[in-house]
Amino acid sequence: MFRIAEQKWKPQMDMYETPDEIIIMGEIAGVNKEDLELEISSKAVKVQGNRTQFPRIDNAKYRLAEIQYGKFERILYLPSPIDPEVVSASYTNGFLQVRLAKLKLDKTFKVPITEE
Over residues 96-103, the mean pLDDT reads 96
pTM of the full predicted structure? 0.80
Average pLDDT in the 48-73 region?
A: 90
Q: Quote the strand ranges of the chain, DSSP E.
A: 12-17, 21-27, 36-40, 44-51, 70-77, 82-92, 95-102
Residue 35 has pLDDT above 50, yes or no: yes
Could you tell me the residue ranges of all domains in the chain? 12-54+64-102
Per-residue confidence (pLDDT) for residue 2, from 0 to 100: 47
**Separation of CA 63 from chain center:** 32
Buried b (16+ CB within 10 A) or exposed e, 61-79: eeeeeeeeeeebebeeebe
For residues 12 and 84, give the distance between their C-alpha atoms in angstroms, rounded to a whole number: 23
On the question of pLDDT at 5 being above 70, the answer is: no
pLDDT tier at 56, thresholds 50, 70, 90: confident
Q: Quote the Cα angle for 106-38-82, to 5°.
A: 5
Given this model, what pLDDT does residue 3 score? 52
CATH match for 12-54+64-102 among 2.60.40.790, 3.30.420.10, 1.20.1270.10, 3.90.180.10: 2.60.40.790
Amino acid sitting at position 56: R
| The predicted structure's pLDDT at residue 50 | 96
Average pLDDT rounded to a whole number, residues 18-45: 95
The mean pLDDT value for 22-40 works out to: 96
Which amino acid is present at 29?
A
Spatial distance between the Cα atoms of 87 and 75, rounded to a whole number of angstroms: 16
With a cut of 80, say whether residue 112 has pLDDT above it.
yes
